[in-house]
Amino acid sequence: MTQTSSNPMLTFRKPIEAELAQVQNRIAEVLQSPEPQINGSLEYLTRQTGKMLRPTLVLLCGRCLDQIGDDHIDLAAMVELVHRASLLHDDVIDSAEIRRTDKTANALWGNTAAVLIGDFLLCQAFQLGAKVRCESAADILSEAAQLLCSGELLQNFQKGRWDISEQDYYRIIEAKTASLFKSSCQLGAIASEADNHQVDAFARYGVELGMAFQITDDLLDFLGTQQQAGKTLGTDLQQGKLTLPLIHWVSSDDAGKAQRINMIQSQCDTEDLIERMRQSGSIDYALNRVRQHITAAKDSLTDIPQTPAKDALFQLADFVAERLQ
């Protein structure tokens, strides 16, 4: 069962709450197998609904311009399946044991099973895509999946590179996270027969929102609780992934750069590291970047007609920025 807008943090769902329930039902329909052992694993994953942000974007962008139809529901289910598949693979890569307060698939059934289940979800997503009347859906989703994989590969190649630049970091997060946010917005708009200008506006919103979301996610890995982050904390640093606050902290002092890198490599106390980043302004720097992306996301919708769905997209943007509170 999906979470409802009775949660004060999820009020942006209100205009499409009934349709989100339909999306979850559609996901449950396609995550079926005649094999009882496989089906049990799929049912476990079906119960882990999360915040459903990407399908929410499909539905809200569509609702900004038209009523929601069956294609919107299928497209929303598609992007959520791709997202969930990426989480399964991420948890294997990170050796994570907790996801959304529950045990991860790899912790329960092992890495091989988790990867294969993720592949099954991807197959089901593209099977849904083959059925929708939106001709460009498969191309858009394929491009997003390709970028997502490219971003993860780039991040993997950069592991342990403590001198990574902000530019490299932004390339990674735009590919691995913002690409699927962008596609979700595009698909919702296209299913509502948006013109090219409108599709581009929603795409820009999705990119900016996705960038803000990933930076916030990276901050939560340091500053949040496990419940807020929805995953095992501290995995970024343990896996040798430099995120924005760390990149800024390392690069903000040329004279002490080598010493700071050595401190990270020596697996220093995380609380001490966080305090150093606070004192140097690196935490505030990352928070300011989140705010800039949120402002840019809202500005991109200037020419979109004012509707409750557009208001909800603004509320969703605020929700992303406020996750650290």
What ranges do the domains of the chain cover?
A: 8-321
- C-alpha of 132 from chain center: 23
- In order of 160, 248, 250, 256, 266, the CA distances from 262 in angstroms are 12, 15, 10, 10, 6
What is the widest separation between alpha-carbon atoms in the chain? Answer: 62
Query: What's the confidence (pLDDT) of residue 235?
Result: 66
The Cα–Cα gap between 277 and 259 comes to 14
Cβ-contact 248, 285 below 8 angstroms: yes
Q: Which two tokens stand for residue 131?
A: 């059925």
Cβ-contact 208, 286 below 8 angstroms: no
The Cα–Cα gap between 157 and 162 comes to 12
Query: What's the confidence (pLDDT) of residue 3?
Result: 42
Cβ-contact 277, 283 below 8 angstroms: yes
State the amino acid at position 51 in one-letter form.
K
- In order along its 325 residues, the chain shows pLDDT tens digits of 334 444 657 899 999 999 999 999 999 999 998 888 889 899 988 888 888 999 999 999 999 999 999 999 999 999 999 999 999 998 898 888 887 678 998 998 999 999 999 999 999 998 888 888 888 888 898 899 999 999 999 998 988 787 889 999 999 999 999 999 999 999 999 999 999 999 999 999 999 999 999 999 999 988 865 444 445 545 677 777 889 999 999 999 888 899 998 888 886 788 888 899 999 999 999 999 999 999 999 999 999 999 999 999 999 999 999 988 7
The Cα–Cα gap between 240 and 321 comes to 25
Query: What's the confidence (pLDDT) of residue 117?
Result: 93
Q: Which two tokens stand for residue 295?
A: 């402002």
Query: What's the confidence (pLDDT) of residue 278?
Result: 93
The Cα–Cα gap between 278 and 252 comes to 13
Cβ-contact 21, 14 below 8 angstroms: no
Query: Hey, what CATH topology would domain 8-321 get?
Result: Farnesyl Diphosphate Synthase (1.10.600)
Nearest to 118 by CA among 99, 143, 138: 99
Measured in degrees and rounded to the nearest 5, phi and psi for residue 99 equal -145, 120
Measured over the CA atoms of residue 33, residue 37, residue 39 and residue 42, the dihedral's sign is negative
CA atoms within a 13 Å half-sphere pointing along the CA-CB vector of 109 = 16
